């Protein structure tokens, strides 16, 4: 495993080569936007950069070396005419009935292009903060099983170690029970 661990939250742009041709544009800008957003919180949060893709919960877990449940995936939904982000554990699904009751309408998954337009992040790197405009954010209780979770830092080869409490502070999100646990 090779980790590029920036000394500060402003990594050198030359160290941020795109992992795949699918995500070349805005790669360094997205990571820098996340870092600039986090700086005022003074929480000491620093993204980890990998030479491998972290674009799925499984890939991120393998890169970081943690259980897939410790990966915090961010999923974009549309509820009525409003975008809604749900941050949940990598080993669970979002229970759409619970989300409907909480958000006040039927949630629809947003396609990758629309998610990019709404969040400014490409699929596999969607981060729940430093968004172009405010939106409702729900943080699933399933993440509380882990002392630290790892969330995408704006790119498909990054992970940001963060506690659930820090996630609430940095996103302004609401913690809720939205998990649908899978049978194994």
Run of H or E residues at 108? strand 107-109
pLDDT at residue 181 in the model? 74
CA distance linking residue 11 with residue 47, whole number of Å: 9
pLDDT at residue 26 in the model? 54
- Domain around 167: 3-181
For the entire predicted model, the pTM comes to: 0.85
Closest-CA residue to 92 (of 141, 150, 154): 141
- Beta-carbon contacts of 182 under 8 Å, excluding residues fewer than 6 positions away, are 91, 92, 93
What is the per-residue pLDDT across 63-114, written as a single tens digit (0 to 9) for each? 999 999 999 999 999 999 999 999 999 999 999 999 999 999 999 999 999 9
Give the total number of structural domains in the chain: 1
| 161 CB neighbour count, 10 Å cutoff | 18
pLDDT at residue 28 in the model? 75
pLDDT at residue 40 in the model? 95
The CATH number of whichever domain residue 141 belongs to comes to 3.90.960.10
What is the per-residue pLDDT across 136-178, written as a single tens digit (0 to 9) for each? 999 999 999 999 999 999 999 999 999 999 999 999 999 999 9
């Amino acid at each position: 495993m090779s980790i590029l661990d920036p000394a500060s939250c402003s990594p050198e742009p030359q160290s941020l080569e795109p992992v795949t041709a699918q995500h070349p544009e805005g790669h360094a800008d997205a990571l820098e936007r996340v870092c600039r957003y986090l700086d005022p919180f003074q929480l000491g949060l620093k993204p980890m950069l990998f030479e491998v893709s972290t674009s799925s919960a499984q890939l991120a877990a393998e890169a970081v070396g943690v259980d897939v449940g410790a990966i915090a995936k961010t999923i974009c939904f549309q509820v009525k005419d409003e975008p809604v982000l749900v941050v949940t554990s990598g080993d669970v699904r979002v229970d759409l009935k619970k989300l409907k009751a909480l958000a006040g309408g039927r949630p629809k998954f947003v396609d990758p292009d629309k998610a990019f337009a709404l969040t400014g992040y490409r699929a596999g790197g969607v981060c729940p903060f430093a968004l172009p405009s405010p939106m409702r954010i729900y943080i699933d209780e399933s993440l509380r099983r882990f002392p630290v979770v790892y969330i995408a830092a704006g790119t498909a080869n990054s992970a940001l170690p963060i506690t659930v409490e820090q996630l609430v502070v940095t996103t302004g999100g609401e913690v809720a029970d939205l998990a649908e646990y899978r049978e194994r």
